[in-house]
Amino acid sequence: MAGDSIGQLFRFTNWGESHGKAIGGVLEGCPAGISLSEDDLQPALDRRRPGQSKIVTQRKEADAVEILSGLYEGKTTGTPISLMIRNQDQRSKDYSEMAQLYRPSHADFTYQQKYGIRDVAGGGRSSARVTAPTVAAGAIAEKILQQFCGVSIVAYVKSVAEIEYSNFDPLVTREQVEQSVVRCPELSIAEKMIQKIEATRKQGDSIGGVIECVIQSVPVGLGEPIFDKLEADLAKAMLSINASKGFEIGSGFAGTRLSGSEHNDPFINSNGTIATRSNYSGGIQGGISNGMPIVFRVAFKPTATIIQDQQTVNLEGEAVTFKAKGRHDPCVLPRAVPIVEAMAALTLCDHWLRYRGYQNLTSE
């Protein structure tokens, strides 16, 4: 209700602010008996954390996660898993200037208006830093989906500004993605993206792009017919990521230019399994997964923080000039890849558990 939780049976509640004592979250509804330790979560966190490569912010944060509950002798017990990441450097620098104005396209103005109070230190609750516990929870979801269903989730950077990786390989692997720091699976394109990001940083500017995500081996039957369609819950999950501005599944916006006779996915018998020849549907029909790969894309705007003079107003509504300081991401996409995967994993795992309760109910 308060908007800090996602999921129904498998629910994650996120808490914390950028420069508070800690950030963290609570994962409810994790099945019992699963081997789990911090080592399962750290790789995803390391792919999200600052300072991991030359093209992301050079801030140093270890993002070491601690599991505080829900485990007994290395296995989950079915009770809530509490995750915590201590904020290492709580000494706030001087935020007195920022407290007096509204940074363009940040959450400063809306938080101030809604709450009458605003944690200016590092952006407080609106900082992308608070996605870290979500990534840790997503790693648990992914482990469950992999273990019980063999699901694989791979996201990658499809475009940075106008530089686009236009191929599509449904069998793309995370290893291929991780070959470049920008997380585009084709190295020649990746190199151009990296150069673009570096040039942008030198200008004190920022750029956006598109992330594509492919999910293989999804069980048939996940999603609900009307409002909790699987694509609807994925759309919500993706639009809840900081800086995201759009979501499309399967053919998406480009598919609006096709005719039905081009766009329909013919069913075929593929070695005894019913599949579709094309996949414009993106793996979901009528709100329910059909067993084909789920494919979607998420648009990310250029980050709002730029190291250039900008016009804005102060709390009194007077025009002022603002120029950000410090180390920032000129492009969020490389670090957003594991966030997209985590949100997808949380969404699918919840729907899988919701569906399980109804499966195999034989009747009169």
Residues 320-349 interacting with a copy of itself (rule: CB under 8 A): none
Confirm or reject binding of residue 181 to a copy of itself (CB under 8 A): no
User: Which range in 18-26, 43-51, 54-62, 175-183 contacts a copy of itself by CB under 8 A?
Assistant: 18-26
Q: Can you tell me which of 63, 142, 186, 233 binds a copy of itself, judged by CB under 8 A?
A: 233
Confirm or reject binding of residue 237 to a copy of itself (CB under 8 A): yes
Contacts of 164 (CB under 8 A, 6+ apart): 158, 189, 210
Confirm or reject binding of residue 260 to a copy of itself (CB under 8 A): yes
125 annotated among ligand-binding-site residues: yes
Q: Which one, 187 or 220, has the nearer CB to a copy of itself?
A: 220
Q: Which one, 33 or 170, has the nearer CB to a copy of itself?
A: 33
Smallest distance from the beta carbon of 325 to a copy of itself, in angstroms? Answer: 15
Q: Can you tell me which of 40, 46, 61, 205 binds a copy of itself, judged by CB under 8 A?
A: 205
Smallest distance from the beta carbon of 170 to a copy of itself, in angstroms? Answer: 18
**Which sign, positive or negative, has the C-alpha torsion 32, 65, 209, 11?**
positive
192 annotated among ligand-binding-site residues: no
Q: Which amino acid is it at 342?
A: A
**What's the start-to-end Cα distance of the chain, in Å?**
39
Confirm or reject binding of residue 64 to a copy of itself (CB under 8 A): no
Q: Going by DSSP bridges, is the β-strand pair 71-72/75-76 parallel, antiparallel, or unpaired?
A: antiparallel
242 backbone φψ class: left, alpha, beta (φ>0; ψ -120 to 50)? beta
Count of positions on this chain that bind a copy of itself (CB under 8 A): 158
Q: Can you tell me which of 206, 334, 341, 344 binds a copy of itself, judged by CB under 8 A?
A: 206
Inter-helix orientation angle 230-239/333-356, to 10°? 150
Smallest distance from the beta carbon of 5 to a copy of itself, in angstroms? Answer: 6
The two three-digit tokens of residue 108, written as one number: 């400063």
Inter-helix orientation angle 38-48/333-356, to 10°? 140
Contacts of 302 (CB under 8 A, 6+ apart): 205, 206, 207, 208, 331
Q: Can you tell me which of 119, 142, 186, 212 binds a copy of itself, judged by CB under 8 A?
A: 119
What single string gives the DSSP state of each residue in 323-349? ---S---S--HHHHHHHHHHHHHHHHH
Q: Which one, 8 or 176, has the nearer CB to a copy of itself?
A: 8
Smallest distance from the beta carbon of 272 to a copy of itself, in angstroms? Answer: 7
CB-based burial label for 323 (10 Å; 0-12, 13-18, 19+)? exposed
- By the 8 A CB rule, do 167 and 160 touch? no
Confirm or reject binding of residue 138 to a copy of itself (CB under 8 A): no
Confirm or reject binding of residue 267 to a copy of itself (CB under 8 A): yes
Annotated binding site for FMN: 125-127, 242-243, 286, 301-305, 327
Bind-site residues: 48, 54, 125-127, 242-243, 286, 301-305, 327
